[in-house]
Amino acid sequence: MKYISTRGNSPAKNFTEILLGGLAPDGGLYLPEEYPQVTRADLDNWRNLPYADLAYAVLSKFATDIPAADLKVIVSKTYTSAKYHNARADSDTQQITPLRTLESGMHILELSNGPTLSFKDMAMQLLGNLFEYVLDKQGEELNILGATSGDTGSAAEYAMRGKRGIRVFMLSPHGKMSAFQRAQMFSLQDPNIFNIAIRGVFDEAQDMVKAVSNDHAFKAKYKIGTVNSINWARVSAQIVYYFKGYFAATQSNDEKVAFSVPSGNFGNICAGHIARMMGLPIGQLILATNENDVLDEFFRTGVYRPRATDHTYHTSSPSMDISKASNFERFIFDLVGRDAAKVREFWSGIDAGGAFDIKGTPYWHELSKFGFASGKSTHLDRLKIIRELWEDYDVMVDTHTADGIKVGLEQRRPSLPLICLETALPAKFEETIIEALGRNPERPAGLESIEKLPQRVEVMDADLEKLKAYIAAKIPN
């Protein structure tokens, strides 16, 4: 399988060639030349597979240049119950992503049993093993540059710590993550991990990562790669749990379901979009935003208008405090019939600080064919959902998952079972849980006093040249 850029001006490459790089040289994002199609026979064969075997079945359709035996070893090493056990005492961690049924037709897909208590572990643990495999084959090193609004950073660092030939430089918005999230990242003392807190918001950190990726000379000299959701391997890994969730919530492959997905950077729901394009029977993809509702605005009005820093709000679901969704370009590429010239036109306006509007164009009518619905959730909505789930089902959810459940219940079609994707464990957002319930969330063993550990972080202005100088100084010549 070959991969092409959404902007159409980069040569097609294979999976391992794009694995380490992030953005395409023309500034676009990589996607398969065409999505592999899943047959009814495939669905029947996959329905009862353990998670690691299902992951192999899905990923072997994308990573076609990795020998089958090697890919099987990588996937089997990644998805083990020993690695995905760090969460709830009542979870069936043999399932890796257990489905929790609240009532008939309403489910939560647990995705936060990994080492950093976030759905990001589902892809990042695989990425760490893929990187190590490819770098070992090539005899190369890689310096990962990423940006996080909360959970990507810790998931990447835990996946890459101690890995041969890999360093991680992770940017985060200074003072805008929860205390638990900060402690997870900044308490790591591994010599290959570098945390950089940027004075600003996540979008500024993300822009810096993209700017470094677009400086081709610097990127080549310092062997810069990325783990942000612009990395295709992360998206492909996330496709797997849509299949797993579908099988767990249905009795047969004739049924359709709705997935509700909290969304900031459009990476998680982009995986659902691709699963649907492959042939998974998804009747509805429900996108939930918080107060930073740029994506909800697009699906309601046809206008995509990223917001400036001073109009990006700091909320109680901070991992979604994003006003410029990197992965959205992948979906627009599909929406416009894979017309790279149209994508370039749209994003030249976006990169200049503008917007685009598809209302009144044929694309607006096409949009309905992709099964999306959307909505917005506020702080008061989050508190209400957290209270209701605790009172009605004895289930505690984090703030982002609460956003997904609130919007999912509003937008679902009554005929479809609703699967809400869990984002993280409530322990990561203690302050809001206390506000909602008057009690502390439980913490997995060993993480009771994580905030008291020594922390190591460099605080820096959103200055691209200072960032480059910092990276260059930390990489041996």
- Structure confidence by residue, pLDDT tens digits, 87-104: 555 666 578 999 999 999
What pLDDT score does 226 carry? 85
Residue of 270, 311, 274 whose CA lies nearest to 287 = 270
Q: What is the mean pLDDT of residues 193-213?
A: 93
What pLDDT score does 227 carry? 85
Q: Which residues contact 401 (CB under 8 A, 6 or more apart)?
A: 108, 262, 420, 421, 422, 423, 424
Which amino acid, residue 10? Answer: S
For the chain, the distance separating the N- and C-terminal CA atoms, rounded to the nearest angstrom, is: 36
More confident residue, 113 or 87: 113
Percentage of the chain exceeding pLDDT 70: 98
The dihedral sign for the CA sequence 205, 207, 208, 212: positive
Both structure tokens of 450: 């994580």
Using pLDDT thresholds of 50, 70 and 90, give the confidence band for residue 124.
very high
What pLDDT score does 166 carry? 94
What pLDDT score does 151 carry? 84
- Structure confidence by residue, pLDDT tens digits, 226-256: 887 889 999 999 999 999 999 999 999 999 9
Distance CA 313, CA 296 (A): 15
Average pLDDT of every residue of the chain: 94
Strand-pairing partners, residue 101, are 107
Using pLDDT thresholds of 50, 70 and 90, give the confidence band for residue 86.
low
- CATH topology for 93-117+235-437 is Rossmann fold (3.40.50)
Q: What is the mean pLDDT of residues 149-153?
A: 84
Q: What are the angstrom distances between the C-alpha of 443 and each of 89, 121, 149, 390, 424?
A: 11, 17, 21, 16, 12
Identify the DSSP state of 317: S
Q: What is the mean pLDDT of residues 350-371?
A: 96
Active site residues: 120
Q: What is the mean pLDDT of residues 272-301?
A: 98
Q: What torsion, rounded to 10 degrees, do the Cα atoms 304, 28, 118, 74 define?
A: 150
Strand-pair category, 418-421 with 106-109: parallel
Using pLDDT thresholds of 50, 70 and 90, give the confidence band for residue 134.
very high
Domain definitions of the chain by residue range = 93-117+235-437
Distance CA 433, CA 12 (A): 47
Asked if residue 24 has pLDDT above 80, the reply is yes
Using pLDDT thresholds of 50, 70 and 90, give the confidence band for residue 457.
very high
Using pLDDT thresholds of 50, 70 and 90, give the confidence band for residue 76.
very high
Q: What is the mean pLDDT of residues 323-327?
A: 92
What pLDDT score does 20 carry? 85
Distance CA 357, CA 373 (A): 18
Radius of gyration in angstroms for the set of CA atoms belonging to the chain, rounded to a whole number:
21
What pLDDT score does 477 carry? 75
Asked if residue 443 has pLDDT above 80, the reply is yes
Contact between residue 119 and residue 397 where contact means Cβ atoms under 8 Å apart: no
Residue of 368, 374, 364, 298 whose CA lies nearest to 336 = 364
Residue of 417, 435, 301, 425 whose CA lies nearest to 380 = 435
Q: Which residues contact 76 (CB under 8 A, 6 or more apart)?
A: 52, 56
What pLDDT score does 87 carry? 54
